[in-house]
Amino acid sequence: MSANGVSIEPRLLINGQLVEASDKKTFPVYNPATREVSANVPEASEQDTNAAVAAAKAAFPAWSALDPTKRAACMKKLASLLRAHNPQLAHLEAISMGQPVRNHIYGVTGASLFDHYAESWQSIQGQASVCTPKHVTMTLRQPYGVVALIIPWNNPVHFFCSKSAPALITGNTVVLKSSEKAPLAIALIAELVVKAGFPMGVFNILSGHGVPSGQILSRHMDVRALSFTGSSRTGKLIQEEAAKTNLKKVILELGGKSPAIVFDDCNLNKAVEQTQHSIQANSGQICMANSRVYIQKSIAPQFIDAFKKRFAAVRDGDPTSKETDHGPQADEVQYKNVMFYIEEGKKSGTLALGGNGKLDSMNGFFVEPTVFLDTPEDAKIMKEEVFGPVVNINTFETEEEAIAKANDTEYGLYSAVYTKDINRAMRVAKALESGYVAVNCTSPLTGRDLPFGGYKGSGQGREGVLYSMGNFLETKSVIIQIDDE
Ligand code: NAD
């Protein structure tokens, strides 16, 4: 396939070889802006998945024993290739899941992650102690072996890098499965992995649906740890498979229904601008998007008015154009899902903006920016993740009321609070049941070195530059007795 100078023949990467599926099966990936086929992609079979795990298992002893600076050398080579290919990666994401190219920096930021972890091997450290009399004790941090990484479609290049770089530098070997909705950029990266010179079997990359390949990885007895980012529904299935088989360690980064609480003493313009951007970025397809906004009653009219003006002004269109800042939903399934929730929202709340699909503009899966007001807290749209450009704005009068409403969810990924009162900000930050709290800012902003992960149904475990390596290291205790003579 060749489009706009980007040429790709998607392949599986198994044991250092770029190959078709063993049964030659492929599936089509459609451009969600036009519904035209962008590429046919190999569907990894059971045999392919098992072969990838077997290759990773065979490669593990040598890779884990290798001087870490040599592991780092392959990673740095991949970093420079990722950086150089950012425009191609951006294009491939645009024609598979519709993310506008103007926002795509993930080849560059992902390269920085590979560079960072390549230099981080010095921090693979245990501890030593003499607190047990007549003994010296120590802990060793060692890799698990074969780790599986399963990533979603909403930001594939980022998740590819943020999971595989820490897994590799710590000496694990990897089988990564891309999402069936967005496998094209990852297929290009598979080619770059070959160029980077990783030893055979160290880094295996599969494309395909959840079933069979994702499910096989979840139940595989030779996979010792699995890091997953995706929906809470799939996270539960993976946890179940792991529990039924070898109890592999499972790290889960799942969905959200993130609240932003806006008090009347805030910087109103900033609160409007940032909460609107949060739900618009990537067409609302961001796990931490503030899909529920709670605004203090006294400033609700000004806030809602300004919010609607900004949200209505998005520039939707061809995501491969640099002018577009609002792409389509990722595919027909996502589109129908968002439209289902919009119809639900119309039954329970007051539609204040949008509320329609826009199949007419380019024949693609565009959804109008949509705002609902005054929706009952127990309505379906207030409880479940929509994953689209749809926001529910409700009002509150007191701090206690705002906290209770914000916490009334099974999710707990990210929350925001806008106020100039530092005491109130800290009271609310402490009370929110959420893995992340932003004060006078909101998602998708994250601190560079903070951990990321969910409370409650939003996941388990934390990721981040100071945390992710720990996800891929076992801890072994060693006790040594010292004889008197
Ligand atoms: P998804 O759960 O449908 O799919 C994610 C991945 O899991 C895909 O690769 C898919 O093929 C695979 N999969 C599907 N069924 C499987 C099974 N039975 N066994 C193993 N693997 C299986 O999620 P999605 O639609 O790709 O992504 C959107 C979701 O991801 C949203 O809920 C979003 O909130 C969440 N997300 C969370 C974070 C976070 O950091 N917490 C970040 C991004 C996205």
Distance (Å) from CA 476 to ligand 1 centroid: 32
For residue 8, the SS3 value is coil
Please check whether residue 481 lies inside any domain of the structure: no
For ligand 1, what atom is nearest to the CA of residue 241? 19
Atom of ligand 1 nearest to the CA of 232: 32
Q: Whose CA is nearest to atom 16 of ligand 1?
A: 210
The number of distinct structural domains making up the chain is: 2
Nearest protein Cα to ligand 1, atom 26:
152
Asked if 269 contacts 423 with a C-beta cutoff of 8 angstroms, the reply is no
Regarding whether 170 and 275 lie in a shared domain, the answer is: no
Best residue among 150, 211, 245, 337 to mutate for probing ligand 1's pocket (most ligand atoms within 8 Å of CB) is: 150
User: Which pLDDT score, from 0 to 100, does residue 88 have?
Assistant: 97
> Does residue 28 sit in the same domain as residue 119?
yes
d(C-alpha 325, C-alpha 314), whole Å:
7
- Both 348 and 224 in a single domain? no
Let me know whether 49 and 114 are in one domain: yes
Contacts of 181 by beta carbon, 8 Å cutoff, 6+ apart: 29, 96, 97, 153, 330, 331, 334
Answer whether residue 194 is part of any domain.
yes
Q: How far is the CA of 138 from the centre of ligand 1 (A)?
A: 38
Would you say residue 367 lies in a domain?
Answer: yes
Q: Which of 253, 384, 385, 463 is catalytic?
A: 253
Ligand 1 neighbours by CB, cut-off 6 Å: 150-154, 177, 179-180, 209-211, 214-215, 218, 229-231, 234, 237-238, 253-256, 287, 385, 387, 413, 454, 459
What's the rounded Cα separation, in Å, for the pair 24 and 43?
A: 8
Span from the CA of 429 to the centroid of ligand 1 (angstroms): 28
Whether residue 91 sits in one domain with residue 103:
yes
Distance 259 CA to ligand 1 centre (A): 21
Cα-atom radius of gyration of the chain, to the nearest Å?
23
Tell me the mean pLDDT per 10 residues along the chain, length 485.
71 98 98 95 98 98 98 98 98 96 94 98 97 98 98 98 98 98 98 98 98 98 98 97 98 98 98 98 97 98 98 93 94 97 97 89 90 98 98 98 98 98 98 98 96 98 97 98 92
One DSSP character per residue, 41-101 reads EE---HHHHHHHHHHHHHHHHHHHHS-HHHHHHHHHHHHHHHHHTHHHHHHHHHHHH---G
What is the CATH classification number for the domain harbouring 439?
Answer: 3.40.309.10
For ligand 1, atom 43, name the residue with the nearest CA: 287
From atom 6 of ligand 1, which residue's Cα is the shortest distance away? 152
* Residue owning the nearest CA to atom 39 of ligand 1: 253
485 belongs to a structural domain: no
Q: Is 253 a catalytic residue?
A: yes
Residue 483 lies inside a defined structural domain of this protein? no
Q: Which 8-state DSSP code applies to residue 198?
A: P
What's the CATH code of the domain at 231? 3.40.605.10
* 4 C-beta neighbours (distance < 10 Å), count: 13
In a domain, 484, yes or no: no
Same domain, 238 and 320: no
User: For residue 330, which atom of ligand 1 is closest to its CA?
Assistant: 25
Residue identifier of the C-alpha nearest atom 11 of ligand 1: 210
Q: Is residue 345 in a domain?
A: yes
The residue behind tokens 């919009």 is: 342
Q: Verify that 290 and 171 share a domain, yes or no.
A: no
Do 318 and 234 fall into the same domain? no
324: closest CA among 332, 314, 334?
314
User: Which residue type, as a one-letter code, is found at position 472?
Assistant: F
* Whether residue 468 is found in the same domain as residue 373: no
pLDDT at position 4 is: 55
What residue owns the CA closest to ligand 1's atom 42? 287
The protein residue whose alpha carbon is closest to atom 22 in ligand 1 is 210
**Ligand 1 atom nearest residue 385's Cα:** 32
56 and 109 share a domain? yes
Instruction: Return the beta strands (E) in 111-161 as ranges.
Output: 128-129, 135-143, 146-150
Q: Whose CA is nearest to atom 12 of ligand 1?
A: 210
Q: How far is the CA of 210 from the centre of ligand 1 (A)?
A: 9
* Domain membership flag for residue 177: yes
CA of 482 to the centre of ligand 1 (A): 51
Determine the pLDDT at residue 1.
52
Statement to judge: residues 183 and 156 lie in one domain: yes
Closest-lying ligand 1 atom to the alpha carbon of residue 454: 41
| 348 C-alpha to ligand 1 centroid (Å) | 28
* Residue of 287, 341, 409 with the most ligand 1 atoms within 8 Å of its CB, for mutation: 287
For residue 234, the CA-to-ligand 1 centroid distance in Å is 6
User: Are 189 and 95 contained in the same domain?
Assistant: yes
**Residue 25, domain extent:** 2-254+461-476
Task: Kindly state the tokens that stand for 14.
Answer: 């198994």
Atom of ligand 1 nearest to the CA of 463: 40
Report whether 275 contacts 371 (CB < 8 A).
no
Tell me how far the alpha carbon of residue 145 lies from the centroid of ligand 1, in angstroms.
Answer: 23
